[in-house]
Amino acid sequence: MSLASRILQQGSRLWNGLSAARGFHLLIRPAAPASVSMQNTQLVTAPAGISQASGLLTPGSTLVQQVAGFKVKGRLKRRCKDCYIVVRQERGYVICPTHPRHKQMSMKKRDYKSWILTHATQSKERGY
């Protein structure tokens, strides 16, 4: 019997043997049968060791430093004496070195609201 068929057979035994009373942790660490040789046991249990190290329920990274992002506002206001306003790429930004939670970004104007009207005509028929 090949190694692949043994693994498939073991997986089907695992799924058929599960009941509602058993927990989810059985899916993470499948037990190898005693009749399998030592070499095959190492191959079968190697993925289980990997899943234990990077399990589904373990936190991904505990050293993540949270950074406050910009709040998108219609009107910007300085929330403390250290906040200052900067204009970059058609947007206004409030940047605060002491309180990063004060960071704000203005909404970008829509194109049709920033058009410059050069002239207006009044006629029954449009020229275009």
- The dihedrals phi and psi of 118, each to the nearest 5 degrees, come to -85, -40
- Say what the pLDDT of residue 20 is: 47
- Say what the pLDDT of residue 102 is: 94
Q: How does pLDDT run along the chain (128 residues), one tens digit per residue?
A: 677 777 777 777 666 655 544 555 544 555 555 555 555 555 555 455 555 555 677 666 677 777 778 999 999 999 999 999 999 998 999 999 999 999 999 998 888 888 888 877 788 887 76
Cβ atoms within 10 Å of 33's Cβ, excluding its own: 13
Q: Which helix (H) or strand (E) holds 72?
A: strand 71-73
Check if the beta carbon of residue 43 is closer than 8 Å to that of residue 3: yes
Check if the beta carbon of residue 79 is closer than 8 Å to that of residue 97: no
Instruction: Locate 56 and state its tokens.
Output: 């589904």
- Say what the pLDDT of residue 91 is: 92
Cβ atoms within 10 Å of 94's Cβ, excluding its own: 20
